[in-house]
Structure 1
Amino acid sequence: MSLPIILQPGEGQSVQIRTSTCTFKATGKDTKGQFGLFEFVMEPGSTGASPHIHKQLTEMFYVVEGLVEMVLSDRTVAAQPGAFILVPENTPHGFSNPGQTPAKLLIMFCPADSREQYFEGLAELTKDGRQPSQKELLELMQQFDQYPVP
């Protein structure tokens, strides 16, 4: 039997990716693989994710604070707090914080798989300001259904 999870603000396992913090609120392990929900906080001027696709998962974004610039296929959207974006599989997307204040996103992945391992791997590759090679990034991405788009 699964138990309820209650996480107060600031609680949950977190990883640091450059100047962004990703906190795992619910993972596939918690939801029998149905979905994962992560809180992603980006400092002003930071890139969250360069354009990429997922072949098997749907990703959803909900802007909690700040301004998030979402790239979706061939359009760019300035997403304000309260904005919701659903990104079906095989849809190019990426996001960044072009604003002057931190931005906070909730990101949901369906199905969850073990998506948190991608963020843990990315945190490890970028630890202490390290710049990973393109080969290292591609290997990590492909393990977790993520493929870059030019």
Structure 2
Amino acid sequence: MTLPIKEIVLAPGEGNHLIIGNSEVTFKVVGADTHGHLGLFENLIQPGGTAPELHIHRQMEEMFYVLEGEVEIQVGERIVQGQPGAFVLVPRNTPHTFSNRGTKPAKLLIMFCPAGEREKYFEGLAELLKEGNKPSREALVDLMRRFDQEPVT
């Protein structure tokens, strides 16, 4: 028997925070909260901040919604200059990445469906990058592959 999903109410700024390089991720909802159906994270990206390399997910869709600033989002061959209110759906197996190439901080929501334990990828990345560490390519790719993220070379 599946237990019911419990309501979650978070005020602005609430949720578990992680520092990843010079960006900050706040978990609003993780897979454990929704029986793995979805996860929703807020990402505050400083100008030139930490950004993922071009990658795909084989088991999940990913969605981006820009809240503040400007976020450059590549989905497939298309590059979108996302302003507040912009939305991008990334289907499975579609190469994508995002970055803040502007001069001001940017904030976006990132949703994963299904979520699985996607937050563990971000936790692992924060650990690899803490205190300015530069992890090996092998360590980064190993982390990516454990959480349904495959680099596109």
Q: 1:66 aligns with which of 56, 60, 69?
A: 69
Q: Distance in 1 between matches of 2:133 and 2:118?
A: 22
Indicate which of 129, 134, 145 corresponds to 2:132. 129
Which of 6, 10, 13 in structure 2 is aligned with 1:7?
A: 10
Q: 2:36 aligned with 1:33, yes or no?
A: yes
Structure 2 residue runs of 5 or longer lacking an equivalent are: none
**1:55 has 2:58 as partner:** yes
TM-score normalised by structure 2 residue count: 0.95
Moved runs in structure 1, 4+ residues, more than 6 A?
none
Aligned-partner Cα distance in 1 for 2:33–2:52: 25
Q: CA RMSD in A?
A: 0.9
CA offset at residue 10 of structure 1?
A: 1.0
Structure 1 residue identity aligned to 2:122: F
Checking the alignment, whether the CA contact within 8 Å between 1:47 and 1:95 is kept in structure 2 is no
User: What percent of counterpart residues are identical?
Assistant: 57
2:121 aligned residue: 118
3-state DSSP of counterpart to 2:122: helix
Show CA shifts across 1:79-118 (max 9, x none).
1100000000000000000111100010000001000000
In 2, the alpha carbon distance for the partners of 1:47 and 1:21 equals 9
CA distance in 2, matches of 1:3, 1:75: 38
Shift of 1:2: 3.5
Consecutive unaligned residues of structure 1, counting only runs of 5 or more, are none
CA contact (8 A) 1:18 1:129 kept: yes
Q: Aligned residues, how many?
A: 150
The whole-number CA distance in structure 2 between the counterparts of 1:21 and 1:60 is 18
Q: What does 1:34-113 align with in structure 2 at a 5 Å threshold?
A: 34-113=37-116
TM-score (norm: length of structure 1): 0.97
